Amino acid sequence: MSTTPVFPTASLLGYPRIGRRRELKKAIEAFWSGSIDEAALDTAAKEIQLVTARRLSDLGLNEDAAIPGTFSYYDQVLDVSTHIGAVPSRFGDLRNAAGELDINAYFTLARGTAEVQPLEMTKWFDTNYHFLVPEIGPETNFSLTSKRIVEQFEFAKANGFVTRPYLVGPVTYLLLSKASLDAPAGFSPLSRLEDILPVYAELLAALAAAGATWVQLDEPALVADQQVDVAVIQNAVARSYEVLTAGKRPAILVSTPFGALNELLPTLAASSIDALHVDAFKGAVPSADELALLAGKTVVAGVVDGHNIWRNDLAASAARLDAFKAAGLSVAVSTSTSTQHVPYDVEQESQLSPQLRSWLAFADQKAAEVVTLAAYLADPASAAHAIAEATAVIASRAAAPGVNRPAVRARLAALTTADFNRSAYEVREAAQEEALALPPLPTTTIGSFPQTSEIRSARARANKGTITGAEYGQLMKAEIKRVVDLQEDIGFDVLVHGEPERNDMVQYFAENLEGFSVTVHGWVQSYGSRCTRPSILWGDVTREAPITVEWARYAQSLTDKPMKGMLTGPVTILAWSFVRDDQPLGETANQVGLALRDEIADLEAAGIKIIQVDEPALRELLPLRHADQASYLDWSVNSFRLATAGAGDATSIHTHLCYSEFGVIIDAIDGLDADVTSIEAARSRMEVVNDLETHGFGRGVGPGVYDIHSPRVPGQGEVTELLGTAVKHVPVRQLWVNPDCGLKTRGYAETEKSLRNLVNATKEVRAQLLTSSVD
Ligand code: MET
Ligand SMILES: [Zn+2]
């Protein structure tokens, strides 16, 4: 490169892409169902990109390359896979006549087909966003198989916006990959670095030719401790950016959201990249010595939190920017992470109190904050008024009613060790066996059944007031009866009520507890076309009345089989809400734990013998640095135990986790002390049973045998095979049979078939076990 263009003084690391009214979700779901064609999908996607560019430009991000090119049809990691040709062999050749992986190939990788399992999905760092895990082996044949991001850049440019194309960087891409099924044992995807770099380089050259001035290579894996030795990663980073800076290319920004770079900062500083983003919100301002290494590069200071929704403490951010400036560096302002993790715009939430709204910043407000702070850098006086206002608002929050409830705090202060412990497992196991009398390999589901359009429309009508609360209650009861009858018919051993009354497993509790508020338009992408609407936990938490008890009591009245009560655990309630940042998370978690403890006591009193407390997010909040993990696991496990330890010996406490890298936190899962734990396992083909075996996990466990994230129906033979693997590693007396997760996102057609296969496969395996024990 001859002269490096100036990096925009104000920019965002990334922006939501699902559409302000979830237009992308609607368009891709319509495309999948065949009701619109590819051209219409393309039009909808372009419209979202244009609306974003116009909006961000209006908010003041109007320098070249300030607008992040972070639009994606489904996932940013899948985007790389489809650009560099990383297709697992089970898909066959997905390239079209032009040799490209087009949109159909793209969605095939994401969603699978009747015959082929899709790519596995896992969480993106410590967020609730899921990416599609690349599968890389010695056989993966890398080449440039798509130019979609170049075309997206050209489209924006033709409309007057020079955006900053975004790619997950090569080191992060390979560190997030898993070895393909064809790879030999011990194969490391990182060993293919030399083979993907030329493809990245080709893409960068194409972007430069299209007129891109800057490109962003996102390397969040560099702030997380990895299994691989740090020296290996340092070499990979040095090599990558040696190769990528050598050819024809735009200026390169490497972004490192989610924490501090530590040992990798000097490596990036020594490379020829043009700008380095550091997360100075969750991470820290690098030391003076580290900053000195960055001389000659632009430092993009991520001082505005991209991951939570609180209004920025502009005075604190200004002080951080001063520290960068004092080192004599060229400084630009940005967010700590992409704002894809927060909703679009607080101003859309007119139902929230003006007071609460004044405490919040969604993506658009964050853009404005970044612009204010960039103005501060140029002329501190120009931002004085905005900084004073932010300081005053933050002070008013601390004093607002409900933020601090003395009764809640007194109850927490009075807790003793006994409040966190149940009887020994053997005692509970005996009491529960007698109370429940279940067959071997008991079958159950994870809680929710498909949320039909009738259910959604009933809820919408109840919210609008066109039906009464009582009418809504009747409709939900009719649905519960239908779901109970269906489970009886299929032959399940432990039933659920199906959760029709819950719009969302966290929001439902948020709506019924004090201390939370909910949004109307605050959707955040969770994976693909799926969005969640996190609640806002802003005050001390209390439960004013029982929440789930009447539904559970009704469901149990319909059957002689045990009905599982269904609650969401404290860690998950925190993880999937936007949580107050003014006290330690452990304190907030214990407040929620106490509310759930009271609910469990009420469920027991109503005759419910099995109570599941879901903690699917336990893994998600695990800190990215080993040094921070012990204290996290301590408070998170304790809050679950506080919620559940009041249950009697004969009450079976279940928990549900939905991820499959189980090994990392198996001690913590053990520490939850649940009687039965169900876990996701189908997509990763039962890998977790190895961890269970190695660990010697001693209580009940249900590794999922039905991947509910995809519409495909697992055949009875497939389920039998998975169970066959499970019984080889886990004692039969501990094993439960269940799907990977709840069924709410599925349709009835595939769900019913799959569940019948699951129950019939279990019967088959039970019979096999009987004959083999007779032999
Ligand atoms: C994401 S975990 C979901 C658990 C919940 N009980 C359900 O079945 O939907
Ligand atoms: Zn789940």
Q: Are 624 and 577 in contact (CB under 8 A)?
A: no
For the chain, the domains span: 23-398, 440-774
Average pLDDT, stretch 104-121? Answer: 94
Question: Which DSSP category does 349 fall into?
Answer: -
pLDDT at 684 (0 to 100): 81
User: What does each C-alpha distance from 270 to 222, 290, 671 come to in angstroms?
Assistant: 15, 11, 44
CA–centroid distance, residue 122 to ligand 2 (Å): 12
CA-wise closest residue to 193 among 121, 261, 244: 244
Ligand 1 lining (C-beta closer than 6 Å): 446-448, 505, 566, 614, 616, 656, 658, 741-742, 744
User: Would you tell me the crossing angle of helices 230-246 and 193-209 to the nearest 10 degrees?
Assistant: 30
Question: Which DSSP category does 578 fall into?
Answer: E
Q: List beta partners, residue 216.
A: 166, 253
Q: Are 691 and 662 in contact (CB under 8 A)?
A: yes
pLDDT at 413 (0 to 100): 97
CA–centroid distance, residue 644 to ligand 2 (Å): 19
What's the CA gap between 110 and 119, in Å, rounded? 6
pLDDT at 773 (0 to 100): 67
For residue 91, name the pLDDT band (cuts at 50, 70, 90). very high
pLDDT score of 266 more than 90: yes
Q: Within 414-548, where are the H helices? A: 425-436, 453-464, 469-490, 507-512
Residue 446 CA: which ligand 1 atom is closest? Answer: 8
How confident is the model over 17-43, as pLDDT tens digits? 999 999 999 999 999 999 999 999 999
Question: Best of 448, 526, 531, 576 to mutate for ligand 1, by most ligand atoms within 8 A of CB?
Answer: 448
Going by CA atoms, what residue is nearest to atom 7 of ligand 1? 742
pLDDT at 775 (0 to 100): 47
pLDDT at 758 (0 to 100): 98
Average pLDDT, stretch 654-661? Answer: 86
Between these two residues, 284 and 197, which has the higher pLDDT value? 197
DSSP string for 509-564: HHHHSEEEE--SS--EEEETTEEE--EEEEEEEE--S-SSHHHHHHHHHT-SSPBE
* Fold assignment, 23-398: TIM Barrel (3.20.20)
CA-wise closest residue to 136 among 77, 96, 187, 201: 187
Average pLDDT, stretch 49-76? Answer: 98
Going by CA atoms, what residue is nearest to atom 8 of ligand 1? 742
Average pLDDT, stretch 285-294? Answer: 95
For residue 709, name the pLDDT band (cuts at 50, 70, 90). confident
Average pLDDT, stretch 128-147? Answer: 97
CA–centroid distance, residue 553 to ligand 2 (Å): 23
Q: What are phi and psi of 202, to 5 degrees?
A: -60, -40
Question: Best of 656, 677, 709, 751 to mutate for ligand 1, by most ligand atoms within 8 A of CB?
Answer: 656
pLDDT score of 114 more than 90: no
Residue 616 CA: which ligand 1 atom is closest? Answer: 2
Q: Which ligand is nearest to the CA of 449?
A: 1
CA-wise closest residue to 478 among 494, 501, 462, 461: 501
Q: Which ligand is nearest to the CA of 702?
A: 2
The model carries a pTM of: 0.93
What's the CA gap between 412 and 409, in Å, rounded? 5
What's the CA gap between 604 and 595, in Å, rounded? 15
Strands (E) across 240-384 are located at 251-255, 275-279, 298-304, 330-335
Q: Which ligand is nearest to the CA of 569?
A: 1
For residue 284, name the pLDDT band (cuts at 50, 70, 90). confident
Average pLDDT, stretch 205-223? Answer: 98
Q: Are 373 and 367 in contact (CB under 8 A)?
A: no
* Fold assignment, 440-774: TIM Barrel (3.20.20)
CA–centroid distance, residue 445 to ligand 2 (Å): 10
User: What does each C-alpha distance from 471 to 132, 204, 546 come to in angstroms?
Assistant: 42, 59, 20
Is 709 catalytic? The answer is yes
CA–centroid distance, residue 597 to ligand 2 (Å): 21
Average pLDDT, stretch 609-635? Answer: 95
567 Cβ neighbours under 8 A, 6+ residues apart: 509, 548, 596, 599, 600, 611, 612, 613, 614, 643
Question: Best of 123, 497, 505 to mutate for ligand 1, by most ligand atoms within 8 A of CB?
Answer: 505
How confident is the model over 56-68, as pLDDT tens digits? 999 999 999 999 9
Q: List beta partners, residue 677.
A: 655, 701
Among candidate residues 130, 277, 497, 709, the one labeled active-site is 709
CA–centroid distance, residue 678 to ligand 2 (Å): 9
Average pLDDT, stretch 211-221? Answer: 98
CA–centroid distance, residue 474 to ligand 1 (Å): 23
Going by CA atoms, what residue is nearest to atom 1 of ligand 1? 616
Q: Which ligand is nearest to the CA of 707?
A: 2
Token pair in block for residue 629: 């993990």
pLDDT score of 1 more than 70: no
User: Would you tell me the crossing angle of helices 748-774 and 469-490 to the nearest 10 degrees?
Assistant: 40
Q: Which ligand is nearest to the CA of 682?
A: 2
What's the CA gap between 200 and 696, in Å, rounded? 44
Going by CA atoms, what residue is nearest to atom 3 of ligand 1? 742
CA–centroid distance, residue 631 to ligand 1 (Å): 26
Identify the weakest region by mean pLDDT among 50-54, 570-574, 682-686, 735-739: 682-686
Q: Within 576-697, where are the H helices? A: 585-605, 629-644, 666-672, 688-695
CA-wise closest residue to 564 among 708, 448, 697: 448
pLDDT score of 530 more than 50: yes
Q: Are 494 and 444 in contact (CB under 8 A)?
A: yes
Going by CA atoms, what residue is nearest to atom 6 of ligand 1? 447
CA–centroid distance, residue 423 to ligand 1 (Å): 27
CA–centroid distance, residue 661 to ligand 2 (Å): 14
613 three-state secondary structure: strand
Going by CA atoms, what residue is nearest to atom 4 of ligand 1? 742
The amino acid present at 463, given as its one-letter code, is: N
pLDDT at 210 (0 to 100): 98
Neighbour-count burial for 696-719, b at 16+ CB within 10 Å, e otherwise: ebebbbbbbbbbbbbbbbbebebb
Residue 445 CA: which ligand 1 atom is closest? Answer: 8
Q: Are 136 and 145 in contact (CB under 8 A)?
A: no
Q: Within 21-70, where are the H helices? A: 23-33, 38-58
pLDDT at 774 (0 to 100): 52
Cβ neighbours around 235 below 10 Å, total: 15
What's the CA gap between 732 and 510, in Å, rounded? 38
Residue 744 CA: which ligand 1 atom is closest? Answer: 9
The amino acid present at 613, given as its one-letter code, is: V
ipTM above 0.90, yes or no: yes
Q: Are 532 and 523 in contact (CB under 8 A)?
A: yes
Q: Are 450 and 747 in contact (CB under 8 A)?
A: yes
Cβ neighbours around 620 below 10 Å, total: 22
Q: Which ligand is nearest to the CA of 680?
A: 2
CA–centroid distance, residue 741 to ligand 2 (Å): 4
Between these two residues, 709 and 307, which has the higher pLDDT value? 307
Q: Are 404 and 540 in contact (CB under 8 A)?
A: yes
Q: What mean pLDDT is reported for the chain?
A: 96
For residue 2, name the pLDDT band (cuts at 50, 70, 90). low
